[in-house]
Structures are given as structure tokens and as C-alpha cells.
Structure 1
Amino acid sequence: MKKQFCLSMATLGFCLSLYAQNTDAGYFVIHKSVFTVDSHTDTPLRLMEGALDFGTDNPGAGNCVDLPKMVKGSLDGVFFAVFLGQGARTPEKHEQAYLMANRIIDTVEQVVKRNESRCGIVDSPFQAYELKKKGRKAIFMGIENGYALGHNIDAVGHFYKRGIRYVTLCHTRNNDLCDSANDTIGFGGLSDYGKKVVKEMNRVGMMLDVSHISDSSFYQVIRLSAAPVIASHSCSRTICDNKRNLTDDMLLKLKKNRGVIQLCILSDYIKDIPQDPRRDSAFKALRVKYNGFSGLSDEETQKARRAWHDLQQQYPARLATVTDAVDHIDHIVKLIGIDYVGIGTDFDGGGGLADCRDASQLPAITQELVNRGYTKQDIEKIWGGNLFRVMNEVAGLAAH
């Protein structure tokens, strides 16, 4: 009897231990079961440098996204941002930006081709789901900064045919489409040409990205667009008072538009954390040296990025945490509901948290969501369902 009792207790102990392990790991089961997509990474910037091998883990390179990291973090799809720094607003420079965007797309296509057994370029949710069934990662593309469109409205259709599925209308400086959140008032919102671009993007079925644009630009886009819009990498201004983030009123307007805000995990947009004054001075000097990173040549851009990386190593940032980031999701969900929020990390462009520094650590976000009571259905919407709804609606409206 004593022997049987001991065996029973041992069995019970084993079962309880197994249950605890399964409970702890339950978030990862959920994470792997849903389609996970990151709506904004600047990985093409690293690919253009030529030193990053997307097919390997790149130890010591300091990059955030590559195929091994995507596999480890069970990230099924990612939007590569075709980023253009804002330069002079002249016909010559517009042409250079247009050509550079095409070069970056060429590079992405070449990188994916070299790894075609493990990933593929897609332009629709359906294609992305099909790739997941085959164990391959989905690579979407968007353009960050409408500077690439110049004054050629036909460029919208051209880039759509090349696989671009959203355009962030501007970056940190005003361009010929609209005013930026980080610049002085120019047009007071959208330019006349910018309004034409909004309508043309609606017509071809390309998503309008309102991250980076000024408040006035945002409201004008919302009024003008016949289709839902996205904020590919933004946060809540109520939680973190940064002009790159959306106010509660903007979020309510976004809900009415049936759009989606994709949570950016760049620490400055998540939480205001005092930094080492030496770090602030060093980065300020770097911005001055490289003209606020505007109007740089390819060589200058690469030098600036290397200098930025070196300063990050010399003066590590004090970063916000996953808990801080999910506070934004909580606020957004309480304000406008579960159907209008997703995730766009800004990895390889400054995004990263103290406990989520690259794609391999993204399950930490799901773990925090589970800890706060979000259901699998909720998490599926946050990790891609809401964004894919918008993609399909934008495409459907264009088709009709």
C-alpha cells in the first residue's frame, strides 16, 4: 500500500509538473498556431549594405530580422520597408529616389531568390497563408516615404506591379505629398498632388500608411480615402506623448475608417525614459554631421548607419519593456476595440525593447498578451488578422 501510495504521489507530481510546463509554454503554442506578421521592418537597409546574409543568423551583426530569427520567433511574415531618406525636392532628386526604390526592390528580390526554399515574396494574405502551409516565410514590401513617387502619378501603379502594398506618405521631413509629424507646417496637410496620390492608391488597391505624417495630414487622408488606412508603425500618444504617435481622437477616426494601427516597438514611442546625457550629445552630433540623415548619398548613408551602430554599442539605450508596449495595446483595445490594432516593430530601423530585441524574441509579446487575458482569437487578430482584413478590403474596393 505504501509503495502504491508513493507511486501515485510520484505520478501526480509528474502530472502537475507537466501541467505547469504546458501552462508556461501555452503562449508559445498559441503564438505558433496563429499567422504572425510584422508590418514594418527596415531590414532592406541592412541588405543594401551587402554584409548581411538573410539566410543565416549573423552573430554579432546587430541585425534584428533574418530567416533563422524568424524561425526561432515563429514570425510567419514580414513587411520589408523600401526606405528613402528625404532629399531635395527637385526633379533630379525625385528621379534618384525613384531609381533607388527600384534598386532596393531588386535587392530584396535577389535575396529572396537565393533563399527561395525558405521564403518567398507575396502581395496578398492568401499567398502568405499558402507559404506558411509549405513551411516558408512570407516577404511583403512597402515603401517608406512617398518621396519615391516624385510628381509622377504613374509611379503608384508601377510600384504596385512590383509588389509594393503600402506607401508611408512621408518620413521625418515634409515632401511634395504632405507634411511630416517631425517638420514645420508646409502645406498644412496634404498637397494637391498628395490628394491625387491618395485617390490613385485607392484606385490601384495600395494601402495608405499614415505613420510619420502630421496630424493635419492624417485627418485629411482619413476624410479623402475611400478605403481603410494603416499606421504601419505607431503607438498611442495618450500613453507616450510623442508627436509620432496617434491621439485618442485620431484612433477613433481610424476605427471609423476601419483601418488599423500597428504597434511600433521603438522605445522612444513606447515610453519616455531618461537617457545618459553623453548618449544624447553623441547622437545629436551625429545628426548634425549627417544633415539629419537627409539628402545623403548611398556611401554617406552606409557610413551614417555604421556610426549609429557604433554609438549604440558605446552608449546602450535604456529601453522600454514588453510590458510597457502591451500597455499601448491595452489602451487602444479599450478605446476602439480588438479589431483595429496590430504589430509593426520597426526592427532594423531602431525598433526593439529591453526584453524583445529581435524577431527571435517576439513570442514575449504573445506571452504578455496571454498573461493579461487576451484569447487566442484576440491574439490572432493582433498578430495579423486585422492587418490582413484591411489589405483584403483595400484590394476589394479597388477591384470594384
Structure 2
Amino acid sequence: MKIVNTSIVFFFIALTFNACLLKPTDPKKAHEQAITIDTHVDTPMQFLRNNFDIGSLNEAPTSRVDLPRMKQGGLDAIFFAIFTNQRQRTPTNSSLAYHMAHQLIDSTEKAIKAHEHIAELAYTTDDVIELEQEGKKAIYLGMENGFPLSENINHVQEFYNRGVRYITLSHSENNAICDSSTDPNGPEHHGLSEFGKEVVKEMNRLGMLIDVSHISDKAFYDVMALSTSPVIASHSSVRALCNHPRNMDDSMIKTLAAKGGVIQICILGAYIQPEDTTSLNYQKHEELRLKYNNWNYSNEEERQQAWAEWRQLNELYPPVLPSIADAVDHIDYVVNLVGVDYVGIGSDFDGGGGLSDCADVSDFPKITEELARRGYSKSDIAKIWGGNFLRVFKEVEAKAADYDRASL
């Protein structure tokens, strides 16, 4: 009888097992099988232009998002931002912001309705799964800047009823809800205002995601202490890698993760790497910012003119942008800090987002390729591209249902 050396057998079994573990992820399959979601783009502003068609291929810089390029990029769902810039808080300006938000929703509904055979507005976590199975794109709505609430708590439910599923509480300046991370005048409320606290409670009750991108650090911690649901940062990056007040520091990321939230890495160059303030691109944009009073427009025509000049400057003085690898460094950082369950992607396309090798949503498979190259598994990639965000969204919905049952 021949005696088998069991140690050699186990050696080869272990070798085979390890070889399977080390088998590289197929980025194409990983991207195709994931539910891919971009949680922040500013495309609705384009709908106010008569010649923009979301169903046609629109090359940058006209827009970086349309339905053909969503298909090319394997993107299943996207959040369109209902954005209003912050103006002085007068009754007139508050009314203008309120009506502008409704106008943007109206125009988005019209644009998607014209292409309902390939895209539909979505409202729940289940919608993206169902629409993906039908071969359609899911278009969600988020509100960037709570200014249109006009200090009326009833407007939270009004916009929820219109399909808005998250509110970015502030933008680049303080509003009636909370302080901004970038207001040149510094804090006003020193966190959340009393109205802001009511907004957080109402969003929890309705099942509306609270978005902490843009808000001050103190406002962030106020939200984390008050909210009974996990929250999101729809388009923010890592402050340790790019020291910008719009980004989140380690303590904030840990606090967000501890409460089950998610940070969606923003691929806008200034939030990935510090800007080169000596470049002509930077200096010309600073001149433009001052020309338009720190982007405080007196009317819609002035806003459109400013955006046209912004695009022209980028053509005349092309920015030197970070790469996909630089952006994935931010994903790596979050994963190493708190784990792979708390990070995703929010591009900020059509609001300044873009990388040297990721110009629009059709380039998203390149991000998956970089993730696979760094050893992320298919499961990890699915979490980063949408699974983590959907987990948070689902929990927010569930907690709102608990509110309803408790009120019966």
C-alpha cells in the first residue's frame, strides 16, 4: 500500500485555494453586475436651456450627463440635484428660490417623460432594481441647498411629495437651516439653527435622506447627534488627502460610519487635490467669482452668462485635473479608516466634477478598473458603486415607516 504524504496534499490544496482567492476581479463583469449609482450631478440646470436634450449625446462641456452616456458608462441610477444658489435671505429671494426649485422639478419631469422608454423618475430603493430589470435608467431627485424651504417646515413634505429624496442642508453660504463650511463671513448659527433642527426631525419622519455635504463641521455634529436615521454626504471627499473645508476629516468620517452613514467621494478636482493657485485657470476663475459677487446672481440671465463664461475659461485655460487614481486614493483612505461599507461615489458632474481621465459618466467603468487593479473584490465594488448607499436609503425608509406605525 502506497502511503500518501498528507502534508504535501494539504500544501497543494492550500495553494489551489489561495490561487482562487488571488484571482483578479474582472472589472467588466463587476461593473455590469453592480447596481451603479451616482448620488450627485447638477444636470437639471441644463433643462432650462431650450436646446438641451437628455436623450441625445451631448459632448462636454455642454453637459457631462445624458441617457446615452449613462448607458455607455453602465450607470443604473443617478441623483439630479435641484440646485438653487444662496442669496441674501429676504422674502423676495426666498420666494424666488422656492419657485426656481419647482421649475427645475417641472423641467426634469418633462425631460424624463419624453424618454420614458429608457428612463423613469424613481422614488424608493426598490425602484432602481425594478427599472434596471426593465432595462431603464432610474432618475432620482435631491435638493442641493435648503434655501427653497423658505423657513416653512411644511415645504419639506411638499418637496418630498414632488419626489425629492434628499436635501443638502446648505450650500456655499449659511442659510436658515445651518452654517456652511465655506461661508466667507464665518458661522452664524454655530451649527444647526432651531429651524434646522425641525428640518432634521421632519426629514427623519418622512424618510428623506439628510445630506451633510457643504455644511460646517459643527452643523455636521449637530445633525449626527439629532438624527435618528443614518445620513449621507452626497458629494464630499477626504480632508486628510485634500485640506478643503468641504471635505470630511477623520473624526467626521468615523462618526458618520458609526451611525451607519456613507460618504460619496466627490470627483471634483479641488476636492481631490489642492488647487494650484498659481495657474491661469485658477486666477481667471477667481476673477470671475468676484465679477459675479461670489456667485450671487441678480437674475437667471446673469446666472446663465456666468456659467457660459466659466465654460469658456475652461476651454481657454484648461485646468490640470487629478486622475482616477487620485480619486480612488480617497476611497482607499475611507476603506482603511472605517471599512468598505461606508463609501461610494457622487461625481458632481455638471457642477464642476471631472477628472483628467474621467470626463463624463461614460468613463465610469475606468473607476471600476482602478478599483479592481487595487484588489477590490466584486462584492466590494458593488458596495462602493451603490450597495452602501442603498443600504442607508433603505434604513431611512424603514425608520420612516416606524414613525408612521407609531402614530397609529
What TM-score, normalized to structure 1? 0.92
User: What's the RMSD between the two structures over aligned residues?
Assistant: 1.3
1:88 correspondence with 2:91: no
**Further displaced range: 274-283 or 36-45:** 274-283
Where 2:234 maps in the other structure, the secondary structure is: strand
1:32 shift after superposition? 1.1
1:60 shift after superposition? 5.6
- Residue 266 of structure 1: aligned partner: 268
Paired with 1:213 and 1:196, the residues of 2 have a C-alpha distance of 16
Contact 1:52 1:61 in 2 (8 A): no
Deviations 1:206-258 (A, max 9, x none): 01000000000000000010100000000110111111000000011001111
1:102 correspondence with 2:97: no
Are the structure 2 counterparts of residues 59 and 249 from structure 1 closer, same or farther at C-alpha, using a change threshold of 3 Å?
closer
Where 1:138 maps in the other structure, the secondary structure is: strand
1:296 shift after superposition? 3.5
Where 2:174 maps in the other structure, the secondary structure is: coil
- Residue 354 of structure 1: aligned partner: 356
Where 1:174 maps in the other structure, the secondary structure is: coil
**Further displaced range: 72-81 or 47-56:** 47-56
In the TM superposition, 1:294-309 aligns within 5 A as 294-309=296-311
Contact 1:202 1:226 in 2 (8 A): yes
- Residue 388 of structure 2: aligned partner: 386
Contact 2:40 2:349 in 1 (8 A): yes
Where 1:234 maps in the other structure, the secondary structure is: coil
- Residue 373 of structure 2: aligned partner: 371
1:148 correspondence with 2:129: no
Deviations 1:67-107 (A, max 9, x none): 11101000110000000000120122111111110110000
Where 1:233 maps in the other structure, the secondary structure is: coil
Contact 2:58 2:64 in 1 (8 A): no
Paired with 1:342 and 1:61, the residues of 2 have a C-alpha distance of 25
1:46 shift after superposition? 1.6
Paired with 1:390 and 1:98, the residues of 2 have a C-alpha distance of 28
Are the structure 2 counterparts of residues 286 and 87 from structure 1 closer, same or farther at C-alpha, using a change threshold of 3 Å?
same
Paired with 1:220 and 1:297, the residues of 2 have a C-alpha distance of 34
Q: Percent identity?
A: 47
1:338 correspondence with 2:356: no
- Residue 188 of structure 1: aligned partner: 190
- Residue 129 of structure 1: aligned partner: 129
- Residue 11 of structure 1: aligned partner: none
Paired with 2:377 and 2:164, the residues of 1 have a C-alpha distance of 32
**Matched letter for residue 339 of structure 1:** D
Contact 2:25 2:378 in 1 (8 A): no
Are the structure 2 counterparts of residues 384 and 217 from structure 1 closer, same or farther at C-alpha, using a change threshold of 3 Å?
same
Paired with 2:255 and 2:277, the residues of 1 have a C-alpha distance of 34
- Residue 326 of structure 2: aligned partner: 324
**Matched letter for residue 190 of structure 1:** L
Paired with 1:294 and 1:160, the residues of 2 have a C-alpha distance of 27
In the TM superposition, 1:1-400 aligns within 5 A as 26-59=26-59, 61-183=61-183, 184-274=186-276, 277-400=279-402
1:25 shift after superposition? 9.7
**Matched letter for residue 210 of structure 1:** V
Where 2:180 maps in the other structure, the secondary structure is: coil
Where 1:393 maps in the other structure, the secondary structure is: helix
**Further displaced range: 57-66 or 327-336:** 57-66
**Further displaced range: 219-228 or 42-51:** 42-51
1:280 shift after superposition? 2.3
Deviations 1:132-180 (A, max 9, x none): 1111100000000000111110000001111100000000000011000
Deviations 1:186-220 (A, max 9, x none): 11111110111010111111010000000000000
1:125 shift after superposition? 1.7
Paired with 1:240 and 1:266, the residues of 2 have a C-alpha distance of 11
**Further displaced range: 75-84 or 91-100:** 91-100
**Matched letter for residue 123 of structure 1:** Y
Where 1:139 maps in the other structure, the secondary structure is: strand
Gaps of 5+ in 1: 1-22
Paired with 1:381 and 1:281, the residues of 2 have a C-alpha distance of 39
Contact 2:297 2:303 in 1 (8 A): no
Paired with 1:50 and 1:147, the residues of 2 have a C-alpha distance of 26
**Further displaced range: 49-58 or 371-380:** 49-58
Pairs aligned (count): 378
- Residue 18 of structure 1: aligned partner: none
**Matched letter for residue 349 of structure 2:** F
Where 1:141 maps in the other structure, the secondary structure is: strand
Where 1:291 maps in the other structure, the secondary structure is: coil
1:269 shift after superposition? 0.4
Paired with 1:238 and 1:142, the residues of 2 have a C-alpha distance of 27
Are the structure 2 counterparts of residues 152 and 58 from structure 1 closer, same or farther at C-alpha, using a change threshold of 3 Å?
same
1:61 shift after superposition? 4.8
- Residue 12 of structure 2: aligned partner: none
1:59 shift after superposition? 3.5
Contact 2:25 2:372 in 1 (8 A): no
1:354 shift after superposition? 0.3
